[in-house]
Amino acid sequence: MAVYTEIDDDQLTGLLAQYNLGSVLSCKGIAEGVENSNFMLATEKGTYFLTLYEKRVKPDDLPYFIGLMEHLAAKGLACPTPIHDREGNTLREVAGRPCAIISFLNGVWPRRPNAKHCHVVGTAMAELHIAGQDFEMQRRNALSIDGWRPLLDASAERADSVCAGLRDALEQEFDLLWKGWPKTPGRASDSPLPHGVIHADMFPDNVLFVGETLSGVIDFYFACNDYFAYDLAIALNAWCFEPDGAFNVTKGKALIAGYESRRRLTDDEIRMLPLFARGAALRFLLTRLYDWLNQVPGAMVKPKDPLEYWQKLKFHRQVRGPAAYGIER
Amino acid sequence: MAVYTEIDDDQLTGLLAQYNLGSVLSCKGIAEGVENSNFMLATEKGTYFLTLYEKRVKPDDLPYFIGLMEHLAAKGLACPTPIHDREGNTLREVAGRPCAIISFLNGVWPRRPNAKHCHVVGTAMAELHIAGQDFEMQRRNALSIDGWRPLLDASAERADSVCAGLRDALEQEFDLLWKGWPKTPGRASDSPLPHGVIHADMFPDNVLFVGETLSGVIDFYFACNDYFAYDLAIALNAWCFEPDGAFNVTKGKALIAGYESRRRLTDDEIRMLPLFARGAALRFLLTRLYDWLNQVPGAMVKPKDPLEYWQKLKFHRQVRGPAAYGIER
């Protein structure tokens, strides 16, 4: 929960003067979101979301994120669309930060996702993968396997302070994944695995529902080009475990069935799913571990528990094949 | 900035089922506010504010706060009004906390208040004092002079770690105020000083504006029965100092002129204003000092700088009469 940068009245009025949105009626900092400063902005024209991009987002990546949202929204996906200013820009600056005004989406994220939610999310993910196929820009996944080694190095020494034996387990896990992981997909890659634009962070708090209908997928600030099945593996981790740490195969089946209702997984993708599930668990374990070990005194964000993902990784380590996730072929 | 209590989907749906507000379209935790958990709630009927009352608010005080908002809003004041559920209740419980749904007010609080804002705020304060005259309930000001001694005792030993000499200065200041402070006003008080319902926390972040028009006074969770001139003294402290610590007498004049445009101060009130200004500065200095010295590791709220109010108190200590605040009679 976070608002890192305050905007004063003159700055806000100055910013809005660049848009055709009328004058400001209300602007409230939002507690959700840990990377950027977010405001719910009401103007004479409607309600919007104002995001100020903070240090963890590279300014060079912003045109990709903003362009992708615009691309996907134009294709009819339920996702925020950037608002253009009078000169056509979708990115501006306020209070010394890059910023964007995007459309506001109704909906509440599901605190206790059920199998129905999982099916709907799988469907939306496949639609996103398909809609992204003709998006022209490229962004390497900075948090794929190439990015894990430096994270692991930064945390290894203190990993056992979080959980005894964690360091050795992480090293072993990384080595195993390193051997089996497919080459990073590029534009001209000859990888047999389908790849393209992935969301890479499709957690429950990034998917909004009105009742049981999906009303929006939000937060594209980890989106990148990578393997589709890896994105699905991230979602299996994020949606299909129970609070007690057990994998719920009914939810797994629902997620995958939702996905396959729009895009059928190839045999290669199915074969890779268990490895990708381990990789996805390791990726979130490593970033959470890093944040846990490097808490800033007085920070306004509570770090998430890395051990939740250690639990999940342990589940994936004992999986003997794709059937464990609910795939029946 | 704070959301202390999360509400899950079922809890929210269950709560809304008690009201005639239709179903939930959106519910976002708000970063503003340090005492309670606040959510901007959009339903089929409109936009509302949902507040969950946290530990620092006494449940016994809630009927006073909620009743006061309803009383003032019914009199036409720009302030939130509590929404009644189907059974007529304005207070309910969700996620183990007392809660209320109140009307949402447009507006942005002024980050850099000018003299015009001060005039408008003075006017609104006098209107609040007048409108509260026939409010039936009573609440003692827990943070008036009787409440300062325990706060001072709790911080005295470590006060000098914040600023050398602060402990002695606080003790001297408290003793001086104790001698000159009028008796706590009661319902049957014979005090010559006008008293009644005061807001007691009318800081810039509790007053919303659309353009230069006041659109709402919010946050009645320190409201109580006390001297009107003390409320004005709190506002002089909160609105009329520049960021560099200087008192801006033009703003002071504007605030008082705004107030007197609705309710003329008595000679007694004017005479007491310098003492009340010192007291108000000491009150916020003491609560900030306490919070500063008792920071909870991992807390989501950054404590406010107590020394800002030490600066203000030093100004008041050298004041020779009401003219210093812009009173010309």
Cα→Cα distances A117→A60, A111, A209, Å: 34, 11, 9
Interface mutation target, options B6, B108, B205, chain A, most CBs of A under 10 Å? B108
**Taking CB atoms and an 8 Å limit, are A40 and B31 in contact across chains?**
no
Closest residue in chain A to residue B38, using alpha carbons only:
A31
**Taking CB atoms and an 8 Å limit, are B3 and A1 in contact across chains?**
yes
Domain co-membership, A54 together with A136: no
pLDDT (0 to 100) of residue A187: 56
Report how far residue A228's alpha carbon sits from residue A193's, in angstroms, rounded to the nearest whole number.
8
SS3 of chain A: the string is: CCCCCCCCHHHHHHHHCCCCCCCEEEEEEECCCCCCEEEEEEECCEEEEEEECCCCCCHHHHHHHHHHHHHHHHCCCCCCCECCCCCCCCCEEECCEEEEEEECCCEECCCCCCHHHHHHHHHHHHHHHHHHHHCCCCCECCCCHHHHHHHHHHHHHHHHHHCCCHHHHHHHHHHHHHHHCCCCCCCCCCCCCCEEEECCCCCHHHEEEECCEEEEECCCCCCEEEEHHHHHHHHHHHHCECCCCCECHHHHHHHHHHHHCCCCCCHHHHHHHHHHHHHHHHHHHHHHHHHHHCCCCCCCCCCCCHHHHHHHHHHHHCCCCHHHHCCCC
Query: Nearest-CA distance from B28 to chain A in Å?
Result: 7
CB of A270 within 8 A of CB of A264? no
> Which of these, B137, B124, B113, lies nearest to B231 by C-alpha position?
B124
A218-239 exposure pattern, b = at least 16 Cβ within 10 A, e = fewer: bbbbbbbbbbbbbbbbbbbbbb
Query: Nearest-CA distance from B3 to chain A in Å?
Result: 7
**Taking CB atoms and an 8 Å limit, are A210 and B10 in contact across chains?**
no
Rounded mean pLDDT, B184-201: 82
The answer to whether residue A145 is domain-embedded is yes
Residue with tokens 């016994």: B60
Query: Nearest-CA distance from A38 to chain B in Å?
Result: 9
Report how far residue A203's alpha carbon sits from residue A32's, in angstroms, rounded to the nearest whole number.
13
**Taking CB atoms and an 8 Å limit, are B9 and A210 in contact across chains?**
no
The answer to whether residue B110 is domain-embedded is no
pLDDT (0 to 100) of residue B188: 52
> Which of these, A31, A298, A294, lies nearest to B298 by C-alpha position?
A298
Partners of B247 in the β-ladder: B241
Domain that holds residue A130: 115-325
Q: What angle do CA A90, A93, A98 make, to 5 degrees?
A: 80
Domain co-membership, B295 together with B189: yes
Would you give the distance in Å from CA A7 to the centre of its chain? Answer: 26
The answer to whether residue B77 is domain-embedded is yes
The answer to whether residue B109 is domain-embedded is no
**Taking CB atoms and an 8 Å limit, are A111 and B300 in contact across chains?**
no
Instruction: Give every CB contact of residue B125 below 8 A, 6+ residues apart in sequence.
Output: B199, B202, B231, B232, B235, B258, B259
Instruction: Give every CB contact of residue A323 below 8 A, 6+ residues apart in sequence.
Output: none
pLDDT (0 to 100) of residue A56: 82
CATH of the domain at A151: 3.90.1200.10
**Which residues in chain B touch residue A301, judged by CB atoms under 8 angstroms apart?**
300
Running DSSP on this structure, what letter comes out for residue B133? Answer: G
Name which of B7, B9, B40 is nearest A40 (Cβ-Cβ). Answer: B40
**Taking CB atoms and an 8 Å limit, are B24 and A108 in contact across chains?**
yes
**Taking CB atoms and an 8 Å limit, are B28 and A27 in contact across chains?**
no
Q: What is the pLDDT of residues B13-68, one digit of tens each?
A: 999 999 999 999 999 999 877 678 999 999 999 999 999 998 888 999 999 999 99
Rounded mean pLDDT, B69-96: 96
CB of B54 within 8 A of CB of B37? yes
> Which of these, B300, B302, B304, B303, lies nearest to B4 by C-alpha position?
B300
Domain co-membership, A167 together with A263: yes
Residue with tokens 């992981």: A181
> Which of these, A261, A122, A107, A266, lies nearest to A202 by C-alpha position?
A122
Query: Nearest-CA distance from B103 to chain A in Å?
Result: 14
Q: What is the pLDDT of residues B96-133, one digit of tens each?
A: 999 999 999 999 999 999 999 999 999 999 999 999 99
Report how far residue A271's alpha carbon sits from residue A279's, in angstroms, rounded to the nearest whole number.
14
CATH of the domain at A92: 3.30.200.20
**Which residues in chain A touch residue B51, judged by CB atoms under 8 angstroms apart?**
none
Closest residue in chain A to residue B12, using alpha carbons only:
A108
Question: Is pLDDT of B141 > 80?
Answer: yes
pLDDT (0 to 100) of residue A329: 78
Name which of A40, A111, A298 is nearest B28 (Cβ-Cβ). Answer: A40
**Taking CB atoms and an 8 Å limit, are A210 and B25 in contact across chains?**
yes
Element (H, E) at B284: helix B267-293
Q: Which two tokens stand for residue B84?
A: 């009644």
Q: What is the pLDDT of residues A235-280, one digit of tens each?
A: 999 999 999 999 999 999 999 999 999 999 999 999 999 999 999 9
The answer to whether residue B70 is domain-embedded is yes
Question: Is pLDDT of B271 > 90?
Answer: yes
Q: What is the number of domains present in chain A?
A: 2
pLDDT (0 to 100) of residue A55: 84
Where would I find the beta strands (DSSP E) of chain B?
A: 24-29, 37-43, 46-52, 92-94, 97-103, 195-198, 207-210, 213-217, 224-227
Average pLDDT value over all residues in chain B: 93
Closest residue in chain B to residue A27, using alpha carbons only:
B108
**Which residues in chain A touch residue B106, judged by CB atoms under 8 angstroms apart?**
25-26, 42
Instruction: Give every CB contact of residue B87 below 8 A, 6+ residues apart in sequence.
Output: B18
Domain co-membership, B96 together with B177: no
Residue with tokens 């302030």: B79
Q: Which two tokens stand for residue A112?
A: 């206790």
Of the residues A103, A136, A158, the one at which a domain ends: A103
Tell which phi-psi region holds residue A219, choosing left (phi > 0), alpha (psi between -120 and 50) or beta.
Answer: left
Domain co-membership, A32 together with A170: no
pLDDT (0 to 100) of residue B142: 92
**Taking CB atoms and an 8 Å limit, are B29 and A32 in contact across chains?**
yes
Maximum C-alpha span of chain B: 61
Domain co-membership, B126 together with B153: yes
Name which of A12, A300, A302 is nearest B302 (Cβ-Cβ). Answer: A300
The answer to whether residue A2 is domain-embedded is no
Q: Which two tokens stand for residue B133?
A: 């005259």
Of the residues B82, B103, B124, the one at which a domain ends: B103
Would you give the distance in Å from CA A179 to the centre of its chain? Answer: 25
Partners of A102 in the β-ladder: A49, A82
Domain co-membership, A67 together with A215: no
pLDDT (0 to 100) of residue A1: 40
Question: Is pLDDT of B198 > 80?
Answer: yes
**Taking CB atoms and an 8 Å limit, are A28 and B30 in contact across chains?**
yes
Q: What angle do CA A177, A183, A187 make, to 5 degrees?
A: 145
Strands A224-227 and A195-198 turn out to be antiparallel
**Taking CB atoms and an 8 Å limit, are B1 and A110 in contact across chains?**
no
pLDDT (0 to 100) of residue B1: 40
Using CB atoms within 10 Å of the CB of residue A32, give its burial: 0 to 12 exposed, 13 to 18 middle, 19+ buried.
middle
Domain co-membership, B119 together with B97: no
Q: What is the pLDDT of residues B203-261, one digit of tens each?
A: 999 999 998 899 999 999 999 999 999 999 999 999 999 999 999 999 999 999 999 99
> Which of these, B299, B313, B317, B291, lies nearest to B158 by C-alpha position?
B291
Query: Nearest-CA distance from A117 to chain B in Å?
Result: 12
The answer to whether residue B220 is domain-embedded is yes
Q: What is the pLDDT of residues B304-316, one digit of tens each?
A: 899 999 999 999 9
**Taking CB atoms and an 8 Å limit, are A12 and B108 in contact across chains?**
yes
Name which of B32, B105, B208 is nearest A29 (Cβ-Cβ). Answer: B32
Query: Nearest-CA distance from B25 to chain A in Å?
Result: 5
Q: Which two tokens stand for residue A256?
A: 């995958």
pLDDT (0 to 100) of residue B8: 87
Chain length of chain A? 329
**Taking CB atoms and an 8 Å limit, are A9 and B298 in contact across chains?**
no
- Mark out chain A residues that contact chain B at CB-CB < 8 A: 1-3, 6-10, 12, 23-32, 40, 42, 104-108, 110-112, 208, 210-211, 295, 297-298, 300-302
CB of B183 within 8 A of CB of B191? yes
**Which residues in chain A touch residue B3, judged by CB atoms under 8 angstroms apart?**
1, 31
**Taking CB atoms and an 8 Å limit, are B300 and A27 in contact across chains?**
no
The answer to whether residue B15 is domain-embedded is yes
Interface mutation target, options B28, B39, B50, chain A, most CBs of A under 10 Å? B28
Query: Nearest-CA distance from B277 to chain A in Å?
Result: 27
Mean pLDDT by 10 residues, chain A (329 residues): 77 95 93 84 95 90 97 97 97 95 95 95 98 96 94 95 94 96 72 92 96 94 97 98 95 98 97 97 96 76 87 96 91
Q: Residue B159: how many CB atoms within 10 A of its CB?
A: 24
Q: Mapping DSSP to helix (H, G, I), strand (E, B) and coil, where does residue B111 land? A: coil
Inter-chain contacts counted by CB atoms under 8 A, chains A and B: 94
Of the residues B103, B138, B172, the one at which a domain ends: B103
Report how far residue B170's alpha carbon sits from residue B59's, in angstroms, rounded to the nearest whole number.
31
**Taking CB atoms and an 8 Å limit, are A26 and B107 in contact across chains?**
yes
Q: Residue A232 corresponds to which amino acid? A: L
Domain co-membership, A168 together with A314: yes
Closest residue in chain B to residue A8, using alpha carbons only:
B111
> Which of these, B226, B225, B218, B223, lies nearest to B82 by C-alpha position?
B218
Domain co-membership, B156 together with B34: no
Q: Mapping DSSP to helix (H, G, I), strand (E, B) and coil, where does residue B263 land? A: coil
Question: Is pLDDT of B301 > 70?
Answer: no
Query: Nearest-CA distance from B198 to chain A in Å?
Result: 26
Instruction: Give every CB contact of residue B62 below 8 A, 6+ residues apart in sequence.
Output: B53, B91, B98, B100
Domain co-membership, B184 together with B99: no
pLDDT (0 to 100) of residue A2: 59
Domain co-membership, B69 together with B161: no
